[in-house]
Amino acid sequence: MKMNFNRMYGLFLRHFFLIKGSFPRILDLIYWPSIQIILWGFISKFFSTYSDYYNNTVGVILTCAILYDFLFRSSISFNMLFLEEIWSRNFSNLFIAPMRISEIITSLVFTALVRTLIGLVPAILLTSPLFGISILNLGLPLFLLFLSLYIFGITLGLFVSAGLLRFGPSFENIAWSSLFLLAPLGCIYYPIEILPELFQNLAKALPLVFIFDEARNILVNNTFDLKNILYAFYLNAIYLIIGVLLFYYSFFQARKKGSLINIGE
């Protein structure tokens, strides 16, 4: 059976109008990324004064901060959209519509992108006048980096959403902490060699290492290694498939136990 575009578009509009009609929601989306980027901008500017490890310390750290925030916002946006359905006790209504799981996931994926861009674009625009840095200097590879990060962010969102289906709203704290747990292994601001050998082996199982290593490689060495990006996409594909399967499994288990109706209680 084919997916119904109108149902997916309807769910997208529901969340879009929730954002559009609420100034506090828009402010929240813009405020945190902007503050984060400004904070890291001044920190990296301080580092550039007292360190010669990077020729362009501000550019490297600030670019990695923007990329990481994009990853964080994409994952959190997916989770927040899912939680909105739980908090409003609307989750069971989606299946009365009826909507298929694939339609819900697809709609939330595109809606999460809109939420992410609303928050991150203003922050990116601030970096040029404040710090003289433009992430667009990464050129064409920037699109591949963003795409890979977005896929991983959505994958994490699927993992957390599967947990919400299985354990209920009590699992929502994991939505906020999942990326913070992975950040040290992601080698966002430093090369993988900084980690102990045991952690290096664990880090290599994450696409983040290859994504951020390539970002630094472009900025520091002015070279682009497609192998890193392709390997990151390869790992992303594996985790995405696992995430989708886990989401389906958690859904059917919740439906079997009858907890879908009470998930918002």
Spans of the chain below 50 pLDDT: none
**Of residues 73, 47, 74, the one with CA closest to residue 189:** 47
CA–CA separation, 218 and 240 (whole Å): 26
DSSP notation for 3-15: PPHHHHHHHHHHH
SS3 264: coil
Q: Radius of gyration of the chain from Cα atoms?
A: 19
CA–CA separation, 76 and 64 (whole Å): 18
pLDDT score at 81 = 76
CA 55 to chain centre: 29
CB atoms within 10 A of CB 224: 15
Report pLDDT digits (tens) over 160-213: 888 888 777 667 677 667 777 787 888 887 788 888 888 888 889 999 999 988
